[in-house]
Amino acid sequence: MSTVKIGIIGGTGLNQPDLFTPDKPDEQVVTPFGDPSDTLQHGTIAGVPCVLLPRHGRGHTIHPSRVNFRANLWALKEAGCTHVLAATACGSLREEIKPGDFVTISSFIDRTYKREVTFHDGSCDGLPGILHLPMDEPFCKHTRALLQQACDAAGVKCHKEGVMVTIEGPRFSSVAESKMFRILGGDVINMTTVPEVVLARELGLCYASLAMATDYDCWRSSTEPVNVEVVMATMKSNAEKAVAVIKSAVELIAQHDWTEIIPSLKKSVTMNLMLPKC
């Protein structure tokens, strides 16, 4: 059995201090890509080493376009993390995905345009080469399956698949955009899954996302359009469930055999990296 260490990226409304037991002081780190969103919080869940990083900083001070996704993922990798469990609030684009439901995301539609989307960007600080990484399966299917098991154990309604539309933000969608995303095949919508999942894959991390539906965005005329008050109210009622799911998932991950899975993710990166010939 391979040793695991779990990075937990807390999203809107989920930076719970009781998520795990701290085992050393918070760590301030600097990466080649700048500062991460906050200090790294080290601790354990059921004896499994974990690192918690609030995506928007404690106090939610960083808006989506300014989250340093590269620094966040790099910091977790350098801290020794093998896995990343990412929590995110999202709007539902489907009638059957109700506010309060959870979704384990299986694919994405990228509608962002201001972000650094790769570590291999040709800059002096970037990693060498050009990485044409396949995205047919961006989320680790093994970690997703364990998240689903954790949801079932917690008695939480979980949709096993879902396409996440990631918009630039910080504004919410217009009605026309919301309806368009439904036509494109989106199931849920947020502002942070991309490029986070892509960067995690570039680093060979087993990444899965627990998306928590808070609203119906604005396509559904019979309900109140999305706003911050609605999002935060639903997140508050969901926080305990999300913590229970993540704790259970961490234990399940620690019991799983990753000896072939983790190297296969790293091999995928190596196989698709085009390095300059000297």
Question: How many Cβ atoms sit within 10 Å of the Cβ of residue 259?
Answer: 9
Q: Which two tokens stand for residue 29?
A: 């780190």
21 burial via Cβ count (<10 Å: 0-12, 13-18, 19+):
exposed
> Residue 217, annotated ligand binder?
yes
> Residue 201, annotated ligand binder?
no
The model's pLDDT over 58-94, given as tens digits with 9 standing for 90+, comes to 888 999 999 999 999 999 999 999 999 999 999 999 9
> Residue 88, annotated ligand binder?
yes
pLDDT at residue 124 in the model? 83
The model's pLDDT over 16-60, given as tens digits with 9 standing for 90+, comes to 567 888 998 999 999 999 999 999 999 999 999 999 999 999 888
Strand 188-190 versus strand 163-167 pairing type? parallel
**CA dist., res. 180 & res. 115, Å (int):** 22
pLDDT tier at 224, thresholds 50, 70, 90: confident
Q: Which whole-number Å values give the CA distances from 254 to 19, 104, 259, in the listed order? A: 17, 19, 12
What residues are annotated to the active site?
Answer: 215, 217
pLDDT at residue 68 in the model? 98
Please state the pTM of the whole predicted model: 0.95
> Residue 192, annotated ligand binder?
yes
Residues 6+ apart with CB under 8 A from 136: none
> Residue 216, annotated ligand binder?
yes
Beta strands (DSSP E) in 186-242 are: 188-190, 206-215
> Residue 89, annotated ligand binder?
yes
pLDDT at residue 92 in the model? 97
185 burial via Cβ count (<10 Å: 0-12, 13-18, 19+):
exposed
255 burial via Cβ count (<10 Å: 0-12, 13-18, 19+):
exposed
More reliable by pLDDT, 177 or 23? 177
